[in-house]
Amino acid sequence: MSFVKKSVSTEPIVDTVFAIVRKAKEDVAKNGADVVTDATIGSLYDEQGQLVALDTCFSSLKALDNRVLAKYASAFTGNPDFCKDVYDWVLNGNSTLPHEVIATPGGTGAVDMTISECLDAGQTVILPEIAWGSYKLMAGMDSLEVENYSLFDGDAFNIKDLERACQTVMAKQDKLVIVINDPCQNPTGYSMTVDEWKQVVALLNACAKTHEVVLLNDIAYIDFAYGQEKAKDYFKVFDDIDENVAVVVSFSLSKSMTAYGMRCGAAIVMTKNEDNLRDMKNVFEKDARATWSNINNGAMAMFVDVLENHKEEYNAERRKYVALLKQRSDIFIQEAAEVGLKHYPYREGFFVTLSMDNDVRDAFHEALMKNHIYTVKVNKGIRVAVCSLSVEKTKGLAKKMKDILDQVA
Ligand code: PLP
């Protein structure tokens, strides 16, 4: 007997991050910060070990009138000025597709709204094999099955395995919903090339001959891409989608404005089929109304104020941290190459992930902790959060990890 619905698992969330974060903190309390390397935290930290909260964003928020913070949003789909500014900021002039923007509580809201409203219970969502854990949790809560695609073929995106996953799912249902978290993929740090995106669009169009196709492109980390706005060029490729394809771009202020707790983001829905676009907007609007009702008005007002009145300052401040992130990841990647520590192809972003099978991973993860190095286990790997490691802590880390790995592998 259970009071909750039968279709959900009652197992507690397996939180692979917070338990290890706690262990790292205990180690610091016992042995001192100098001894401990905490590479668990997935938010951007500065060189002094403090969470980065961009001044441009939070000064703007604090200058807002109390009534702006107090108010409901003006629409369930988000304030019109926010929706317009999100579209302009994210697409950066790289799309001519008909579109709608729906404000959501972070990227989480946009991703879950898309997979839960585009698939019926019992259908299958296509997810990357190495991915942000919430995708799988969402699928479970929405009573969906999961088909995974393997991410890499050597150092390149594994288009063949994505095609296999699509074919497997097409054999059993009339629609595809595919999640691609790019650029700055979590947890590998891979970013696809424009050519790889062209291959994806060609695959989507081939599938669209017989099936409806929804691509969910999760861009949570895009504003920390090392090429900055050049990272948005690939959106042009979406102009070639077939009528039977919709792209939902999931955007978040969590990383872009270091506003994790403000719970603000957006789903940008793009498709050539205006009837389908209208239907998606209507359903997404009802989903919003039925679940979170409306989005944090202050967060939306802050986004608009920053982009309309303080854009240069915001870009300059954010880019300072993009450069810091690059400095840290350059050190780790270069040293990993020197000592032969294997990782998934890394291009940019918050995390580097060492590649190994799950048996080695478990033993390695334990051995690292015995040596005061704290990381996060992911499927087939160990995630190193360069976003929260200082330059000093990053130096020499790859060698230490390789030495420990050699003892367990
Ligand atoms: N997508 C990925 C890949 C993430 O790593 C995260 C956060 O860690 C999110 C989306 C969504 O975060 P939020 O809901 O705070 O926007």
- Residues 252-296 pLDDT 10s: 999 999 999 999 999 999 999 999 999 999 999 999 999 999 999
CA distances from 311 to 304, 317, 318, 349 (A): 10, 10, 10, 22
In sign, the C-alpha dihedral spanning 194, 196, 199, 203 is negative
Distance CA 213, CA 174 (A): 9
Distance CA 212, CA 372 (A): 50
Q: Residue 400: CB partners within 8 Å, gap ≥ 6?
A: 37, 371, 373
- Chain-centre distance of CA 165, in angstroms? 21
Please tell me if the CB atom of residue 182 comes closer than 6 angstroms to any atom of ligand 1: no
Distance CA 41, CA 20 (A): 9
If you measure from the C-alpha of residue 353 to the centroid of ligand 1, how many angstroms do you get, rounded to a whole number? Answer: 17
Please tell me if the CB atom of residue 181 comes closer than 6 angstroms to any atom of ligand 1: yes
- Chain-centre distance of CA 235, in angstroms? 17
Model pLDDT, residue 363: 96
Model pLDDT, residue 18: 84
Residue stretches of the chain with pLDDT short of 70: none
* Listed residue (362, 395, 368) closest to 380, CA to CA: 362
Tokens in use for 379?
């499927």
Tokens in use for 335?
């040293």
Model pLDDT, residue 67: 98
Q: Are 63 and 267 in contact (CB under 8 A)?
A: no
CA distances from 301 to 53, 80, 268, 304, 308 (A): 17, 11, 18, 5, 10
If you measure from the C-alpha of residue 110 to the centroid of ligand 1, how many angstroms do you get, rounded to a whole number? Answer: 10
Please tell me if the CB atom of residue 276 comes closer than 6 angstroms to any atom of ligand 1: no
Model pLDDT, residue 1: 76
* Complete DSSP assignment for 146-180: EEEE--EETTEE-HHHHHHHHHHHHTT-SEEEEEE
* Complete DSSP assignment for 63-126: TS-HHHHHSPPSSTT--HHHHHHHHHHHHTT---S-EEEEEESHHHHHHHHHHHHHS-TT-EEE
Please list the residues that pair with 143 across neighbouring strands: none
If you measure from the C-alpha of residue 260 to the centroid of ligand 1, how many angstroms do you get, rounded to a whole number? Answer: 9
Model pLDDT, residue 15: 77
Distance CA 362, CA 360 (A): 6
Please tell me if the CB atom of residue 349 comes closer than 6 angstroms to any atom of ligand 1: no
Q: Are 337 and 325 in contact (CB under 8 A)?
A: no
Q: Can you say whether residue 360 is alpha, beta or left, with left for phi > 0 and alpha for psi between -120 and 50 degrees?
A: alpha
If you measure from the C-alpha of residue 185 to the centroid of ligand 1, how many angstroms do you get, rounded to a whole number? Answer: 11
Please tell me if the CB atom of residue 191 comes closer than 6 angstroms to any atom of ligand 1: no
Distance CA 264, CA 105 (A): 4
Please indicate, yes or no, whether the overall pTM of this predicted structure exceeds 0.75. Answer: yes
Model pLDDT, residue 346: 98
Q: Tell how strand 124-128 and strand 145-149 pair up.
A: parallel
Please tell me if the CB atom of residue 265 comes closer than 6 angstroms to any atom of ligand 1: yes
In a 10 Å sphere around its CB, with 0-12 CB exposed, 13-18 middle and 19+ buried, how is residue 357 labelled? exposed
Distance CA 16, CA 36 (A): 19
pLDDT tens sequence across 137-195 = 999 999 999 999 999 999 999 999 999 999 999 999 999 999 999 999 999 999 999 99
Please list the residues that pair with 354 across neighbouring strands: 343, 382
Please tell me if the CB atom of residue 220 comes closer than 6 angstroms to any atom of ligand 1: yes
Q: Find the angle CA(201)-CA(128)-CA(328) to the nearest 5 degrees.
A: 100
If you measure from the C-alpha of residue 107 to the centroid of ligand 1, how many angstroms do you get, rounded to a whole number? Answer: 5
If you measure from the C-alpha of residue 365 to the centroid of ligand 1, how many angstroms do you get, rounded to a whole number? Answer: 24
